Chain A
Amino acid sequence: MKTDPAGVLTGAHYLDGDFAAGEGAMAAGCRFVAGYPITPSTEVVERIARRFPMMGGTFIQMEDELASMAAVVGASWTGTKSMTVTSGPGFSLMMENIGLAAMMETPCVVVNVQRGGPSTGLPTMTGQADMMQARWGSHGDYELIAMSPKSPQETFDLMIDAFNISEIYRVPVLFMMDECVGHMTEKVIIPPAEEIEIVARKLTDKKPGEYWPYELNGGDIPEFARAGDGYHFHSTGLTHDYRGYPEMSAECQWDCVGHLVNKIHNNVDDIVRFEEEEIEGADVVVLTYGITSRVARLGIEMARDKGIKVGSIRLIVVWPFPEKRIRELAGKIKGFVVPEINLGQMVLEVERCAAGQAPAIGVPHPGGGVHDPNAIVEAIVGAAK
């Protein structure tokens, strides 16, 4: 369906990535946001706090990030699209209820404008070191979806996809920005509402009494009911059966948790998203995401000037990882180069997927700045040997 025009600020704007994230959420139909202030993400909720009262949205500043995430899960069960926004330290606190959202199969979006860590780290400076935390930061087995935009425009566009995909698969979508993208101001074109396609929550057709909240009916995703529609359903963070009733057994654990993982695994090809450039005939492939994709461009050009055939892959959806494509490329190239603003996270995944067919060379950076392109060139030259 087309989105609610009330949330769409159609036009050409100069926005920073944080504001673009807020606009994207409102355009996507988000009408509940709970958050706690944290640099460098706060501008997202500041934007929303100013605009929500004019479109029937409710923003609440909670007492902490534990509460923010819990409130988002609660609100989502009313059918109201819900989001929270944070950075590293808050992301750690949210892990508890991100796990609850995964277990209860609750659509929601969590924005993490990454800064340098660990702990308080570099509050005002960039980082990309929460990528592995985004995968399995909460305890137990589950799969979810994470995305990483490279610009304010893409932040806006991708935010709409983030809400849509969280509705389709009933998972939290982690929106992994970084301080650079969050604080860079660029032109953002917001289309008219009638050009913005959103996924409305599909509610069950069943009547109360016939409905069970986690019944699969042959599909991958259970049907939804809203709290307050008369279904009298039960949902729990405990291992549960199709009725949403707790059941403590290894068999039920297989069904319940196996389902959480399989609903993503079975649809990986539809979920993964990446952008390739000059891959054909490349000897070296540079894999990037977020701000690093832009920094790497110069390094890639410099390496090409040296006569090296360099291609690139930019991850847009980071989790699930495009395992199949990396394995395929690994057999054809001399090596991968993975610059990222951490001391080696996604490079491990590239290495795993390449499975020994090609080396994965990391270009680490601890955060607080972006890469020197020369470091990327050096890694490309090394990989091309």
Chain B
Amino acid sequence: MSAEAETQSAEAETQVEKREVQAEEHPVAPFIRMDRMPHIWCPTCGIGTVVKCYASALENLKLDLDKVAIVSGIGCTGRVAGYMNMDAFHTTHGRAVPFATGLKLGRPELNVTVFSGDGDLSGIGGNHFIHSARRHMDILVILVNNFIYAMTGGQNAPTTPLGANSSTMPFGNFEPPFNLPHLAASCGASYVARWTCLHIRRMTKAFEEGLERKGFRFIEIIAPCSTLYARRNRLGTGLNLLLFFVVFVEIQHGVDTREVGIAFQEKIICGKFVDDEEQTTFLENMNAHYERVLGDKYVSMPPEGGWIHE
């Protein structure tokens, strides 16, 4: 290279260095605690996608974020509350639903979302899950199902498909898993849907509907866990899992939820299974009942809660 060329090249490099790149804010940044980024989730984990869709739903609905609260339990998805820029609670293992119940009943105007994993909500928290659905508690439950206890290293979950390998079922799982949409629907959920991390648009739409409906709303999202579930089961990477969803997902809106159980590496039925806009909630039922039996004597808790102050 000639001396002149070298000088030109050096100048060009300096110019490149000097050029200021305008930092573009991620569209959902206002909904995320950006001071906590980067998050802890593995590359190709599906949870980030679910968070993005939830944030998009909040954005699309233009909800007053001051009145939206989010509650998580423990596990990989249990970390979601910690990254959302709203009143957020990271609670004990399995207790996100009853914690959210207290939050809702303590201040009825809040729109409360529970965001947690399959092990947290259907394993250790399974009893709370079914009772909350039974009493039509007014919360949106988003359950991210990665078929495994991931945070603790890939142990068997109540959702692990028959035959799949986990660290505590090293010779393959022989326990039948839960069919979660059916569990929720049969216990009284007013809204039940299932999507995968592939279904960005439909998932976002489901979250929008879930946030706007009332009663116990349940949305299951099937998410890839490449670090543990895919690796143990030799299913490739997160991308391979998404490709699997492309081929093996069938969308069947309104299908009988008895039909939507998930078998190992077989079809996954997605869709909106239940959408009962007429169903009344715990609070509506309680208020209507007391108004009927107690008349004027009944004093309901104000929407802003039972905080007694000057």
Contact = CB atoms under 8 A, between A and B. Distances in A.
Contact of A236 (B89, B110, B300): B89
A60 B97 CA distance: 14
B92 A70 contact: yes
Given A54-B294, A96-B92, A234-B33, A228 B110 contact: yes
A70 B102 contact: yes
Nearest to B99: A74
A56 B300 contact: yes
Contacts of B286: 58
A228 B65 CA distance: 9
A71 B66 contact: no
Contacts of A274: none
Interface string A92-122: 0000110110001000000000000000000
Interface string B270-290: 000000000000000010001
A32 B306 contact: yes
A311 interface: no
B103 interface: yes
Interface stretch (A1-9, A333-341, A367-375): A1-9
A231 to B, nearest CB: 7
B89 A228 contact: no
Chain A, interface size: which category?
35 or more
Contacts of A308: none
Given A56-B300, A227-B110, A245-B36, A34 B102 contact: yes
Contact of A235 (B85, B90, B297, B298): B90
B92 to A, nearest CB: 5
B106 interface: yes
A288 interface: no
A201 interface: yes
A73 interface: yes
Contacts of B86: 232
A80 B107 CA distance: 8
Contacts of A228: 66-67, 69, 87, 107, 109-110, 304-305
30 contacts: A4-B308, A6-B299, A32-B106, A54-B298, A56-B300, A58-B286, A63-B98, A63-B127, A64-B127, A66-B95, A66-B98, A67-B97, A67-B127, A71-B101, A71-B102, A71-B105, A72-B102, A74-B71, A74-B100, A77-B87, A77-B103, A79-B106, A81-B306, A97-B95, A200-B309, A226-B307, A228-B305, A234-B81, A234-B89, A237-B90
Interface of A: 1, 3-4, 6, 29, 31-32, 34, 53-58, 60, 62-64, 66-68, 70-82, 96-97, 99-100, 104, 198, 200-201, 226-238, 245-246
Interface of B: 33, 36, 65-67, 69, 71, 81-82, 85-92, 94-95, 97-107, 109-110, 127-128, 131, 286, 290, 294, 297-302, 304-310
Given A54-B294, A56-B300, A232-B66, 14 more contacts: A31-B301, A34-B98, A64-B127, A66-B98, A68-B98, A74-B71, A74-B100, A75-B106, A78-B305, A78-B306, A100-B91, A226-B307, A232-B86, A234-B90
